[in-house]
Structure 1
Amino acid sequence: MGRKKVTITIYGAEQICASCVGAPGSKDTYEWLQAAIARKYNADVVEYEYIDINKPPEAGKHKQFAKRVLEEDMFFPIIFVNDEMVAEGIPRLKTIYQALDQHGVKLLA
C-alpha cells in the first residue's frame, strides 16, 4: 500500500536575509531541517526540495514564488509543507512538526 508523500520546499538564497542577521543561512536551514525531521518522523514519506530564489528553476510555481519573495521583500528561508507556507524567516520546528502531523506523517516508533 503506497503512502502519500509530503514535500517540504525551502525557498532561500546564498546571502542571508537582511532582516535575519545572526540566523543560519537558507542552505544550513535546509540541512538542519532534514536532520531534525529524520530524528522524529518516519522520513521515508518526506521529500525535500531547495529553491534558490535568485536562480529558480523554470517550473512555473517555483519561478513565480521566487519572484514574489524578491518583489515583496519577504524574509527567507520560506518553508512550505506541500502547498502550505509554514515559516518565513527564522523557522520554528514546532510549527513545522504540526504541519507534518496534519499531513499524517508518522512518528518514529
Structure 2
Amino acid sequence: MSKESIVITVYGAKQICASCVGAPGSKDTYEWLQAAIGRKYVDDQIIYEYIDIESPPNVEKHKKFVQRILEEDLFYPIVMVNDEIVAEGIPRLKTIYAALDKHDVALQT
C-alpha cells in the first residue's frame, strides 16, 4: 500500500446540472462517495474535499478549474482523484475504484 495521501475532490453546485436531471445533487454525491469508498477501502490516507462551483474557495487551482467547468459546460458533479478527472455528471463507482486501485489504496479486510 502506498502511504501518499489521495485527494478526492468533488466539484458541484446546489443546483443540479441541467443535463443530469433526476440524478442526486452534488453534495449528496460527495457524501455517498465517502460512504461507498469507506466500505471498500481503508480511507485514512484519503482526503475528501467538496468545492462549490458557485462560490469556490480562494485557491488558484480551484478557481481555474471552476472557470473551466463554466467555459466548457462540463457536467457536474465532477469527481477528481489527485487532480485527474475520473467522473463527470453521474459518477460510476467502478471508475472511481479503478483510480483508487491505481494509487494502491488498501482494501478493507
TM-score range for the pair, normalised by the shorter chain length: over 0.9
The count of aligned residue pairs is 108
> 4+ residue stretches of structure 1 with deviation over 3 A?
none
Partner of 2:56: 56
Unaligned runs of 5+ in 2: none
Partner of 2:98: 98
Per the normalisation by structure 1, the TM-score is 0.96
Partner of 1:78: 78
Per the normalisation by structure 2, the TM-score is 0.96
Please provide the CA RMSD for this pair: 1.0
* Residues in 2 aligned to 1:67 and 1:13: alpha-carbon distance in whole angstroms: 14
1:25 matched to 2:25? yes
Residue identity opposite 1:55 in structure 2: S
Partner of 1:43: helix, strand, or coil? coil
**1:73-99 deviations in whole A, cap 9, x for unaligned?**
110000000021000000000000000
Unaligned runs of 5+ in 1: none
Q: Percent identity?
A: 69
